[in-house]
Amino acid sequence: MKRPVYSGTLALSLAVIVGATMFVLPTRAWSNAAEWTVYNTANSGLPYNGVTALAIDAQGTIWVGTGRWYALAGGGLAKFDGQNWTVYNTSNSGLPNNDHIDLSIDAQGGVWSATESGLSRFDGQNWTVYMTHNSGLPVNQMGCAPVYDAQGNAWIGTFGGGLVKFDGANWTVFNTGNSGLPNNYVWPIAFDADGNLWIGTFGGGLAKFHGANWTVYNTGNSGLPDNTIACLSFDVQRNLWIGTHNNGLAKFDGTNWMVYNTANSGLPHNRIWNLAIDPQGNIWAATGSGGLARFDGTNWTVYNTSNSGLPDNNVYCIAFDGEGNIWVGTQDGGLALAFYRPLAAVDFNGDGIVNLKDFSELAQYWGQDEPSVDIGPRPWGDGRVDIQDVAALAEYWLMDFSLVAHWKLDETEGTIAHDSISNKRGNLNGNPIWQPAGGAVLGALQLDGSDDYVSTPFVLNPADGPFSVFAWVKGGSPGQVITSQTGALGARWLLVDPAGGRLMTDLKAPGRGAQPLYSDFVITDGDWHHIGLVWDGSYRVLYGDGAEVGKDSMAQAGLIGATGGLYFGAAKDLAAASFFDGLIDDIKIYDRAITP
């Protein structure tokens, strides 16, 4: 097809549209092209493959409540920090029952387990258990874990005993005999922005409670499609989304009802176990036997065992972590993590970044039907290159698709160094100190040169092809390591020359004759330096403060392969002399050779 030539006026107009659009659209799109990781009893420390509840604490730790609906089975409570699993059960802790109904985390970081026979709170060291014999709970079977009002009171649903309020000392019970509660089997509860408490019941419909006033909605007096409510969630427009046990999903704006089911929408199953709303406002529904469904207000996308890495179509629970990844608990398939990266299809020229070159490609076909650049609206195209495609392109503006991991190290507390690109979260070991205002780029991490380091999961194998690693460092001493890869064949990617404090790499080609690569760039002078190693498939190049400071004199026959995780601030063997004494900041790894 011949490309038309457009005037500078049109090109400028389109550029203005891109500039405006990129500030009003979300920065993450979702599709079936996800990276899935499944954790089960065979490949991880997960104690049971049924996951009924999920909660994520302020440090990004995943708390997993195991169990199975209507079966009185489970493996207890599991804690997963991205690398290590810790399991709490009735044999090794104060957990009252291994079968979980729900989990929640309070403002102090306490983890509450609502189980089939009792309620417990774990503060990281001590367990407090509440049952009918030692508290004001009316029954031991829980309906949901505590949610909190503005005054800090805990509200708890019980299965058969009604609704309970606990202020830390006193218990108040609301039931069908002393209040307007329509049913004593209380399942989900949630507060709206005005402080009203919404209560879903098993068979009695939906109730709203504020102070002394009760309003009940059921199938007889409202548009509610089912009197058994399994889950509740509010969106940013204050709409209440209601997942029902057998009759689909309902939306209530305070006046009007909208019902979505398998007959009138793309919802794959009418049983909704759980709901979650992502930062872009998409509604996610965990369905019974239908998989995981996403609704953007217009279109439905379904993830199941046939079209994705979801291990089981009976999805019990879902939760989003701070990096935008979705964790999915299933009936029999264990726990799944779906990490969604932007689709590389918008990188029209394949150079790894979305910029004006890609915009120019799109502009050449303006008003035409050109599949190669027709990317909007979702699902990817409408047969015409127009403003919809500009909007879709703007969502990915200046994204570098080759950036596979990025630890900004801007945290202020906790023991997790978050990866803003994928789920390669780093664990802090020893006692590194966060320096929120002391970095080269915002915050940084201070290591003591004694036993401090960061460990991450596997990121890439150097033998697989070109890659780059960059970091900011300040301090250090000769022989100390900045980044290394673990495992038998793992190497020190970036370190300080033991002889003179200069930047070097010990990552080399296979064979006895292979040598490290040295530079004359000194990094131990107490100033911040931006350092990097680039492998282009033939040559290793070291960079210091944006300049090339070392390069192989002849082509290398590849690099030694390794599949271990990474250490920041230490060698793979944790040798005492290898621990880095200084500040590290903004570590980036790319799966291509780049020039800083």
If one counts the domains in the chain, the total is 3
Ramachandran quadrant class, 352 (left: phi over 0; alpha: psi -120 to 50; beta: rest): left
Is residue 6 over pLDDT 90? no
Q: Same domain, yes or no, for 384 and 462? A: no
Whether residues 264 and 366 fall in one domain: no
Residue 162 CA to residue 563 CA, distance in Å, equals 53
Q: For residues 51 and 65, give the distance between their C-alpha atoms in angstroms, rounded to a whole number.
A: 6
| 415 and 326 co-located in one domain | no
Give Cα separations from 113 to 154, 360, 466, 532 (angstroms).
13, 55, 47, 46
Tell me: do 100 and 38 sit in the same domain.
yes
Residue pair 356/331 in contact (Cβ under 8 Å)? The answer is no
Q: Tell me, yes or no, whether 351 lies in a domain.
A: no
Q: Is the pLDDT of residue 277 over 70?
A: yes
Distance (Å, whole) CA 334 – CA 273: 16
Q: Does the structure show a pLDDT above 70 at 87?
A: yes
Regarding whether 166 and 208 lie in a shared domain, the answer is: yes
Is residue 595 in some structural domain?
A: no
Q: With respect to residue 3, please indicate whether it lies within any of the assigned structural domains.
A: no
Does residue 354 fall inside a structural domain? no
Q: Is the pLDDT of residue 344 over 50?
A: no
16 shares its domain with 52: no
pLDDT tens by residue, 435-486: 999 999 999 999 999 999 999 999 999 999 999 999 999 999 999 999 999 9
Mean pLDDT over the full length of the chain: 90
Pair 376, 489 in one domain: no
**Band of the pLDDT at 378, cuts 50, 70, 90?**
low
7: pLDDT strictly greater than 50 = no
DSSP state of 362: H
Q: Please give the average per-residue pLDDT across 291-301, as a whole number.
A: 92
pLDDT beyond 80 at 556: yes
If asked whether residues 63 and 97 sit together in one domain, one would say yes
Match 């460092």 to its residue by tokens.
473
- CB 100, CB 119: distance < 8 Å: no
**Overall average pLDDT of the 187-207 stretch:** 96
Least confident of 102-106, 124-128, 181-185, 384-388: 384-388
Looking up residue 481, the CATH number of its domain turns out to be 2.60.120.200
Looking at the domain assignment, is residue 1 inside a domain?
no
Residue 281, in any domain of the structure: yes
Among 49, 37, 34, which Cα is nearest to 316's?
49
Task: Tell me which residue of 237, 321, 307 sits closest to 276, measured CA to CA.
Answer: 321
The candidate with the shortest Cα–Cα distance to 31, out of 312, 280, 319, 369, is 280
Amino acid at 456: T
pLDDT for 3 equals 40
Exposure class string for 112-139: b at 16+ Cβ within 10 A, else e: bbbbbbbbbbbeeeeeebbeeeebebbb
Same domain, 377 and 467: no
Classified as helix, coil or strand, 421 is coil
Q: How far apart are CA 320 and CA 156, in angstroms?
A: 23
For residues 253-258, average pLDDT: 96
In this model, does residue 318 exceed pLDDT 90?
yes
Determine the distance from the C-alpha atom of residue 48 to the mean position of all C-alpha atoms in its chain, rounded to a whole number.
22
Residue-level pLDDT at 390: 86
- What gap in Å lies between CA 448 and CA 431, rounded to an integer? 8
CA distance 511 to 6: 56
Whether 415 and 528 share a structural domain: yes
When comparing pLDDT for 272 and 557, which is higher? 272
Give the range of the structural domain holding residue 13, as residue numbers without chain letter.
8-23+360-394
- Work out the average pLDDT over 359-372: 86
| SS3 category, 419 | strand
pLDDT band at 345 (very low <50, low <70, confident <90, very high): low
Could you tell me the CATH number of the domain that includes residue 121? 2.130.10.10
Q: How far apart are CA 249 and CA 232, in angstroms?
A: 10
Task: Answer yes or no: is 419 within a domain.
Answer: yes
Same domain, 121 and 139: yes
Tell me, yes or no, whether 28 lies in a domain: no
Nearest to 252 by CA among 213, 274, 279, 221: 221
**The model's pTM:** 0.63
Residues 484 and 386 in one domain: no
Residue 71 has pLDDT above 90, yes or no: no
